[in-house]
A and B are shown apart, each in its own frame.
Chain A
């Protein structure tokens, strides 16, 4: 059975304090790994897709990387507006995504 595990559950950072979130997965043949950002009271918003080990994607202060067993979301010099829950997901077959429980990031000014 495909599984997605995210750690830590919560992360509290000071503004400017860089850190990383982890997403580990077990799937039978990876067909992509997705990162989403979710703000309170809203639906998840797509950030990145990674398809192969070694691939990296960047968007502002966020950088996602992928290995054969896990993905990292690096937050460099975060700002309070980066506070959100970050979700990762993998396709469990051609139609469906399986999501991790998410990491809630709080950045204090």
Chain B
């Protein structure tokens, strides 16, 4: 979707290194979310933001941190990557929380070796 972009699209990193994924939106939406998607588990919420500098944890937040210093950017950081964090990461945005669903980015495939 042209209104939301994720970078990088693919990344391979070594265990123990920090990694930052970026989500950028041009829709001026208030809400932004980071999910991870793994076979058999579906989409699981890592962290979300309901405004600039306003963030909260999701169901699988251990080992992850986020920051949102401006409306358009939401960063996800793996402090010290582990093999269990190998996954596909999706960012999503919403203008109204859950009232109208989300728009998702194309995803970042992260491999931790």
Contact = CB atoms under 8 A, between A and B. Distances in A.
Interface of A: 31-32, 34, 36, 41-46, 49, 87, 89, 91, 93-102
B33 A96 contact: yes
A91 B52 CA distance: 22
Given A87-B42, A100-B42, A101-B42, A44 B98 contact: no
A82 to B, nearest CB: 19
Contacts of A89: 43, 101
Contacts of B100: 49
Contacts, number: 60
Given A87-B42, A87-B43, A95-B48, A31 B98 contact: yes
B42 A46 contact: no
Given A100-B42, A101-B42, 4 more contacts: A44-B104, A45-B104, A91-B98, A97-B98
**Interface size, B (range):** 20 to 34
Contacts of A93: 98
A94 B99 CA distance: 8
A107 B41 CA distance: 23
Nearest to B42: A101
B46 to A, nearest CB: 11
